[in-house]
């Protein structure tokens, strides 16, 4: 604001001096015409300086669901200025007045205002539902952008869609990036794993932001690097999610064997997972699973016993399995994990099958024992290296 006021004062004094010199000149008519041209140019200069002053955001975020909000707050914590926009503009006001209160986050009420608030080259990140919503926002953004500006898609888009968008936007001079974001809501807030790929000219501009907010390895290296051209970022995220599907299915089967073959109680299963997390199987998934088995409701009952055995999915595991089939890579663990999720969602059919076959899904195994359960689980964990090898 100070810069705008100072600019107006300087230009006012300049115009007054010029006007005086023209009025006392013998060629007053010609001079007045020149003065009009200079006045227009001065006005244009003022407008340009105002817009330049308004453009103070390092990056912009479109989409203020929890993931978008948490990434924005993470960027703010690392010293970046961020502009935000949401299709439902009331969400912007709510965010600015609550979670973002007292920060340098800029709320905007239109796409035009959003774009004007960004420093050049403009960096606009989308965290919206994959598919048509991404294309819709791109079509609205492009007319407001200039050559060399950057659009980043941080959603779970299919890599082939990212290939197409990257190619189409390159023809218009817009640098397109598709980036995988892993770590969920908590990771977005305190350090996600980021997998950017697309137009390589964009990387030097977004690298300082992305590597600053990313999770850090024990060595201090950021969990973020350039994956390659076109849809490579979303491809890496797809395979990453496929591996995660397999991980979670192995965990589910280990639980099932411990519970119904080994006759372990919830606290005993929690202890087994805790011990696993102290060895070669150490991971975030194993750690949080051990906590889940121990979690109790206010009435003292275990939460795990009340969780519905029907899993949803976003599609990335299925895409990985299909891609494996297309390329002749036997990602069998990932495919079986997808099938298990699909089967779990058919709860009505499973219940009917139990009724017809006169059985129950939690019926104990014959000849069961803790020793047999642990032996089988050891065999399960031996699948992990093969899972990663096939996925790579």
Point out the residues that are catalytic. 237, 244
Question: Strands 106-107 and 59-62: what pairing?
Answer: unpaired
Cα–Cα nearest to 68, from 124, 122, 126, 136: 126
**CB-based burial of residue 384 (10 Å sphere; 0-12 exposed, 13-18 middle, 19+ buried)?**
middle
CA separation (Å) from 362 to 114, 120, 253, 267, 359? 55, 60, 13, 18, 9
* DSSP track, 159-180: HHHHHHHHHHHHTTT-EEEEEE
Instruction: State the Cα–Cα distance between residues 281 and 60, nearest whole angstrom.
Output: 39
Asked whether 222 and 211 are in contact (CB, 8 A), the reply is yes
Alpha-carbon torsion, ordered 130, 135, 138, 139, to 10 deg: -160
Locate 133 and state its tokens.
């919503």
Going from the C-alpha of 390 to that of each of 27, 180, 233, 239, 325, the distances in angstroms are 85, 20, 19, 10, 12
**What are the residue ranges of helices labelled H in 159-282?**
159-170, 184-190, 203-213, 232-260, 266-276
């Amino acid at each position: 604001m100070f810069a705008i006021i100072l600019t107006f004062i300087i230009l006012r004094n300049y115009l007054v001096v010029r006007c005086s010199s023209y009025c006392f000149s013998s060629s007053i008519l010609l001079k007045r015409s020149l003065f009009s041209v200079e006045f227009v140019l001065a006005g244009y200069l003022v407008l340009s300086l105002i817009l330049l002053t308004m453009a103070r955001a390092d990056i912009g975020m479109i989409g203020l669901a929890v993931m978008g909000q948490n990434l924005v707050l993470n960027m703010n914590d690392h010293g970046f200025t961020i502009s935000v926009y949401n299709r439902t503009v009331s969400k912007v006001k709510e965010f600015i007045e609550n979670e973002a209160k007292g920060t340098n986050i800029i709320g905007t009420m239109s796409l035009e205002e959003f774009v004007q608030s960004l420093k050049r080259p403009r960096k606009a990140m989308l965290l919206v539902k994959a598919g048509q919503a991404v294309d819709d926002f791109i079509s609205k953004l492009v007319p407001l952008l200039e050559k060399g500006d950057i659009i980043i898609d941080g959603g779970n888009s299919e890599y082939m869609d990212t290939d197409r968008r990257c190619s189409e936007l390159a023809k218009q001079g817009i640098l397109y990036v598709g980036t995988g974001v892993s770590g969920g809501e908590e990771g977005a807030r305190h350090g996600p794993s980021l997998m950017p790929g697309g137009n390589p000219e964009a990387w030097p501009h977004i690298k300082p932001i992305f590597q600053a907010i990313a999770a850090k390895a024990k060595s201090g290296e950021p969990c973020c690097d350039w994956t390659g051209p076109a849809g490579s970022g979303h491809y890496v995220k797809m395979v990453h999610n496929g591996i995660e599907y397999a991980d979670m299915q192995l965990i589910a089967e280990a639980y099932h064997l411990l519970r119904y073959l080994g006759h372990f109680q919830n606290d005993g299963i929690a202890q087994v997972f805790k011990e696993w997390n102290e060895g070669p199987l150490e991971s975030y998934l194993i750690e949080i699973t051990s906590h889940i088995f121990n979690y109790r409701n206010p009435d003292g009952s275990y939460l795990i016993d009340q969780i519905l055995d029907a899993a949803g999915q976003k599609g990335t595991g299925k895409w990985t399995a299909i891609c494996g089939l297309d390329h002749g890579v036997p990602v069998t663990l990932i495919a079986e994990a997808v099938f298990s999720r699909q089967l779990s969602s058919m709860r009505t059919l499973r219940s009917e099958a139990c009724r017809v076959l006169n059985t129950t899904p939690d019926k104990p195994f014959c000849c069961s024992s803790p020793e047999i359960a642990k032996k089988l689980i050891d065999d399960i964990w031996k699948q992990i290296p093969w899972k990663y090898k096939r996925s790579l």
